[in-house]
């Protein structure tokens, strides 16, 4: 058995580097098809493959949206796998502290899904574990990895892109923590967590990464400040994927320590200029702005966002969060975004047009005319205009 696992790890030979594909929309089922079928990514999976899907099931509670991977995205993937003749499919994860993947399977609808599609569900905390020597320097010599994950032919990592209390962001690199026993997951928090994450990714490499960016969270991995972002990302290299996600959430990738260590250890490239990003479409335009969190209380500045796409607005909110961390927001700043941002104030205010729609319609002091501008792009333009340099987000003017 050990030889079989070793062969599989060796055969993977490190992550592939094929860039990152992004699709925007509201219907995950259509979006997963666009990513897998339109790009022919599905051709990489052979019908006889044993496929393991590793979602993020960090919580087992009713309020899991924007925290756990959207089960509708997982189901869309399973439907495609089935259609292409793949029959040996397992959905596997171990939950966060104080939660249970077994319960999450029930609450998030995986148990019913398993009956519909003939899936195997594995709570990885109950799996058998194999000790594997790590390939990067750090706190561990070896790590215990779930046998189900090691033995599969094709591992699909399906994280959620969101903020994290200790690591700033969490996405594909950090999502792999779920493949270890609980005792080891706990131990990660008493050592250098960022180096430990890089070490883990030196021995577990997904074949495909599908990021759920439909709804994330502004400040925590376990929720309560949800932000709709309406996008999915696909890639094969976790460092590349997480670097693009870091930019979408307003960070310079190298400022995220676990990303930096992983890149320095040769697991992938975190230089955005060297990562090929392909957008399959444009964000979906909205007519009205429905706040999901109390933005007016959270951010000191003023925001007008009628007719903004959720994607664009989500990026703006992450940029505002970064600016807030730097104490750079003031009530004299007026951010407007979307098709119909309304009346622009004539009184003294720093007018900031976010996105092509707003920049085309109104003259502003700062214009960020991309569609959609990433949070990193918005952040950089604002601090550049304010003549500031930021340290904690690793951004400079
Ligand atoms: S620039 Fe306009 S169309 Fe593009 S994402 Fe922003 S609001 Fe939507």
> What are 102-142's pLDDT values in tens digits?
999 999 999 999 999 999 999 999 999 999 999 999 999 99
How remote is the CA of residue 243 from the centroid of ligand 1, in Å? 22
How remote is the CA of residue 41 from the centroid of ligand 1, in Å? 28
Q: Taking 80 as the threshold, does the pLDDT of residue 396 lie above it?
A: no
Residue at which a domain ends, from 224, 245, 279: 279
Same domain as 232, residue 321 = no
Query: Which atom of ligand 1 lies nearest, measured to the CA of 311?
Result: 5
Tally Cβ neighbours within 10 Å of residue 290.
9
Same domain as 82, residue 192 = yes
Same domain as 136, residue 100 = yes
Query: Which atom of ligand 1 lies nearest, measured to the CA of 370?
Result: 1
Q: Give yes or no for residue 359 CB within 6 A of ligand 1.
A: no
How remote is the CA of residue 354 from the centroid of ligand 1, in Å? 8
Same domain as 182, residue 120 = yes
> What are 258-317's pLDDT values in tens digits?
999 999 999 999 999 999 999 999 998 765 555 555 666 789 898 888 778 889 989 999
Domain count, the chain: 2
- Tell me the C-alpha to C-alpha distance, in Å, between residue 232 and each of 16, 190, 241: 19, 33, 11
Same domain as 310, residue 186 = no
Q: Taking 70 as the threshold, does the pLDDT of residue 335 lie above it?
A: yes
Q: Does a structural domain hold residue 335?
A: yes
Same domain as 362, residue 274 = no
Q: Does a structural domain hold residue 182?
A: yes
SS3 content of the chain, % helix, strand, coil (to 5): 40, 20, 40
Same domain as 196, residue 340 = no
Calpha distance 187→138 (Å, rounded): 13
How remote is the CA of residue 122 from the centroid of ligand 1, in Å? 40
Q: Does a structural domain hold residue 395?
A: no
Which residues are CB-contacts of 183 (< 8 A; sequence separation ≥ 6)? Answer: none
> What are 24-64's pLDDT values in tens digits?
999 999 999 999 999 999 999 999 999 999 999 999 988 88
Q: Give yes or no for residue 237 CB within 6 A of ligand 1.
A: no
Q: Does a structural domain hold residue 286?
A: no
> What are 182-194's pLDDT values in tens digits?
999 999 999 999 9
Calpha distance 233→158 (Å, rounded): 10
Burial of 160 (0-12, 13-18, 19+ CB in 10 A): buried
Q: Taking 60 as the threshold, does the pLDDT of residue 366 lie above it?
A: yes
Residue 393: both structure tokens together:
């987000």
Same domain as 221, residue 267 = yes
Domain membership of residue 322 as a residue range:
295-386
Same domain as 255, residue 217 = yes
How remote is the CA of residue 270 from the centroid of ligand 1, in Å? 26
Which residues are CB-contacts of 146 (< 8 A; sequence separation ≥ 6)? Answer: 92, 94, 122, 124, 127, 128, 129, 179, 180
How remote is the CA of residue 352 from the centroid of ligand 1, in Å? 14
Domain CATH code at residue 257: 3.40.50.11440
Q: Does a structural domain hold residue 14?
A: yes
Same domain as 261, residue 374 = no
Q: Give yes or no for residue 377 CB within 6 A of ligand 1.
A: no
Same domain as 306, residue 208 = no
Mutate to test the pocket of ligand 1, among 229, 231, 283, 352 (most ligand atoms within 8 A of CB): 283
Q: Give yes or no for residue 312 CB within 6 A of ligand 1.
A: yes
Q: Does a structural domain hold residue 289?
A: no
Residue at which a domain ends, from 220, 247, 279: 279
Query: Which atom of ligand 1 lies nearest, measured to the CA of 357?
Result: 2
Helix (H) or strand (E) holding 163: strand 162-164
Same domain as 328, residue 301 = yes
Residue at which a domain ends, from 255, 279, 303: 279
Q: Give yes or no for residue 378 CB within 6 A of ligand 1.
A: no
């Amino acid at each position: 058995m050990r030889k079989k696992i070793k062969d599989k790890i060796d055969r993977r030979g490190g992550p592939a580097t094929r860039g990152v594909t992004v699709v925007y929309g509201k219907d995950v089922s259509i979006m997963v098809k666009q990513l897998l079928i339109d790009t022919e990514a599905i051709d990489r999976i052979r019908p006889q493959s044993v496929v393991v899907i590793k979602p993020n099931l960090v919580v087992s509670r009713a309020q899991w949206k924007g925290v756990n991977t959207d089960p509708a995205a997982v189901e869309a993937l399973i439907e495609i796998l089935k259609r292409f003749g793949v029959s040996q499919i397992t959905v596997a994860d171990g939950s966060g502290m104080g939660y249970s993947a077994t319960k999450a399977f029930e609450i998030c609808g995986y148990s019913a899904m398993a009956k519909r599609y003939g899936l195997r569900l594995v709570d990885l905390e109950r799996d058998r574990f194999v000790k594997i020597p790590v390939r990067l320097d750090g706190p561990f010599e070896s790590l215990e990895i779930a046998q189900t994950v090691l033995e599969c032919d094709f591992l699909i990592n399906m994280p959620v892109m969101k903020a994290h209390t200790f690591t700033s962001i969490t996405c594909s690199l950090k999502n792999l923590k779920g493949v270890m026993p609980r005792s080891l997951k706990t131990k990660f928090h008493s050592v250098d967590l960022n180096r430990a994450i890089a070490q883990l990714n030196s021995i577990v490499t997904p074949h495909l990464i599908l990021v759920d960016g439909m709804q994330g969270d502004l400040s925590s991995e376990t929720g309560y400040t949800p932000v709709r972002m309406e996008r999915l990302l696909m890639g094969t290299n976790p460092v590349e994927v997480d670097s693009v996600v870091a930019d979408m959430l307003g960070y310079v990738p190298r400022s995220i320590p676990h990303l930096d260590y992983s890149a320095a250890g040769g697991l992938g490239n975190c230089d955005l200029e060297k990562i090929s990003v392909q957008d399959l479409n444009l964000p979906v335009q909205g007519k009205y702005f429905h706040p999901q969190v109390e933005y007016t209380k959270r951010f000191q500045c003023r925001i007008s966002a009628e007719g903004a796409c959720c994607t664009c607005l989500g990026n703006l909110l992450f940029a505002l969060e970064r600016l807030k961390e730097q104490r750079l927001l003031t009530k004299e700043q007026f951010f407007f975004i979307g098709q119909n941002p309304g009346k622009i104030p004539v009184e003294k205010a720093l007018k900031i047009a976010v996105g092509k729609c707003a920049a085309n319609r109104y003259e502003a002091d700062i214009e960020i005319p991309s569609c959609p501008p990433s949070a990193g792009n918005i952040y950089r333009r604002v601090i550049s205009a304010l003549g500031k340099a930021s340290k904690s987000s690793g951004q400079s003017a």
